[in-house]
Amino acid sequence: MSLSPQKILPTPKRLLFIPLRYLGDTILSIPLIRNLRHHFPETQIHVLVSKTAKPLLENCPYIDQILVEPNRSKERIPAIKAGHYDTAIILRKSFTMAFNCRRAGIKTVIGYDKQRFIEPISFKRWGLLLDYKTPYPSRKTHVNQAISHLNHLKAYGLEAHDNHLELWPSPEDKKAIQALFESSKINTEKPIAVIHSISASSGKSIPIQHFVESVKQLAKSGYQIICTGLSNDYPLYQTLSATSGVPLHNFAGKTKLLETFALYQKADLILSVDSSPIHLAATADIPKIVGIYMTTNEKQWGPHSATSQFFPAVIPPKTSLDSKELGKRILSAVLLAIR
């Protein structure tokens, strides 16, 4: 039995765009935001983001206002209601957010047909309270999530105008990185590699000892190695330097978000866990991206770039974090990238 086609929706006047909370997810939503602006030049586009992700969009030319999502759920409905939106596009698989938008008086709600409820129901393909249901891709898809997000345009009978990633570092961001490079005596005429071993997402961080052999090979190949992350990550990279015997430029905690992006624009290779640095690297068009994937589909959540080469280190399910197999697979991917 074939499903009846969904109704084409009217042009929004005041649109609330709701990406996922994580940094990488926010980056992957930018092509859809840009396409909405291209197709709807007169529409007011506001974006509801986490406090952490807000700096990514502060210089975005396609949106009219950024709203920081309240931490308390009871404060979200009043915050949304104050915008007097006629349309919401939700990239989260969240029944709760669809419910919040309805309670706030938004008449047209667009989102993925897969929504999350509390256990034991969890994720189901319902799409309740949605006026247009975009099919969520299967876990085995070969389509990058940035491209899948663009399917929301079909709610208006539209196709994507383009699909590239972009970010907007300020001149001050670039100057800060230049000064950091000069003070650290990093020569931009020589190859630069970035290491990022930590993720805020559960189950994606890799114990630092599994990077030792890869760091040695990068240094042997002439790369200057920079470590990025939060200030809490600083001791880990100090341990990596001591264990490997390789001098590392430990910048953990020393750069703001878009400064980190400006740093990546100067890099030649990145070795990172499956987290936001993968997407920052793709946006910066780092020539070689080595990504470590343990819990997600590397084709769906890998780098979306027309110019970067991707070398995935795919870790089999249920591999112990103590297993030497992790270090071997990471090293194999690095060797492919630098050969």
Query: Would you state the pLDDT for residue 35?
Result: 98
Tens digits of per-residue pLDDT, 107-122?
999 999 999 988 888 8
Write down the mean pLDDT value for the chain. Answer: 95
Q: How confident is the model at residue 60 (pLDDT cuts 50, 70, 90)?
A: very high
Length of the chain: 339
Query: Would you state the pLDDT for residue 1?
Result: 38
Q: Is the pLDDT of residue 201 over 90?
A: no
Query: Would you state the pLDDT for residue 26?
Result: 97
CA distances from 10 to 55, 82, 91, 154, 310 (A): 31, 22, 19, 12, 40
Q: Is the pLDDT of residue 233 over 70?
A: yes
Q: How confident is the model at residue 73 (pLDDT cuts 50, 70, 90)?
A: confident
Q: Is the pLDDT of residue 5 over 80?
A: no
Domain 172-338 indexed as CATH 3.40.50.2000? yes
What percent of the chain has a predicted confidence (pLDDT) above 90? Answer: 91
Tens digits of per-residue pLDDT, 127-148?
999 999 999 999 999 999 999 9
Domain ranges of the chain: 14-156, 172-338
Query: Would you state the pLDDT for residue 261?
Result: 98
Query: Would you state the pLDDT for residue 254?
Result: 97
Q: Is the CB of residue 146 less than 8 Å from the CB of residue 166?
A: no
SS3 track for the chain: CCCCCCCCCCCCCEEEEECCCCHHHHHHHHHHHHHHHHHCCCCEEEEEECCCCHHHHCCCCCCCEEEECCCCHHHHHHHHHCCCCCEEEECCCEHHHHHHHHHCCCCEEEEECEEECCCCCCEEECCCCCCEEECCCCCCCCCCHHHHHHHHHHHHCCCCCCCCCCCCCCHHHHHHHHHHHHHCCCCCCCCEEEEECCCCCCCCCCCHHHHHHHHHHHHHCCCEEEECCCHHHHHHHHHHHHHHCCCCEECCCCCCHHHHHHHHCCCCEEEEECCHHHHHHHHCCCCEEEEEECCCCHHHHCCCCCCCEEEEEECCCCCCCCCHHHHHHHHHHHHHHHC
Tens digits of per-residue pLDDT, 88-99?
999 999 999 999
Average pLDDT over residues 241-250: 98
Average pLDDT over residues 170-181: 98
Q: Which CATH architecture has domain 14-156?
A: 3-Layer(aba) Sandwich (3.40)
Tens digits of per-residue pLDDT, 31-40?
999 999 999 9
Query: Would you state the pLDDT for residue 4?
Result: 57
Q: 13-17, 70-74, 180-184: which has the minimum mean pLDDT?
A: 70-74
Higher pLDDT, 299 or 4: 299
Fold agreement between 14-156 and 172-338: yes
Average pLDDT over residues 226-232: 96
Q: Is the pLDDT of residue 332 over 70?
A: yes
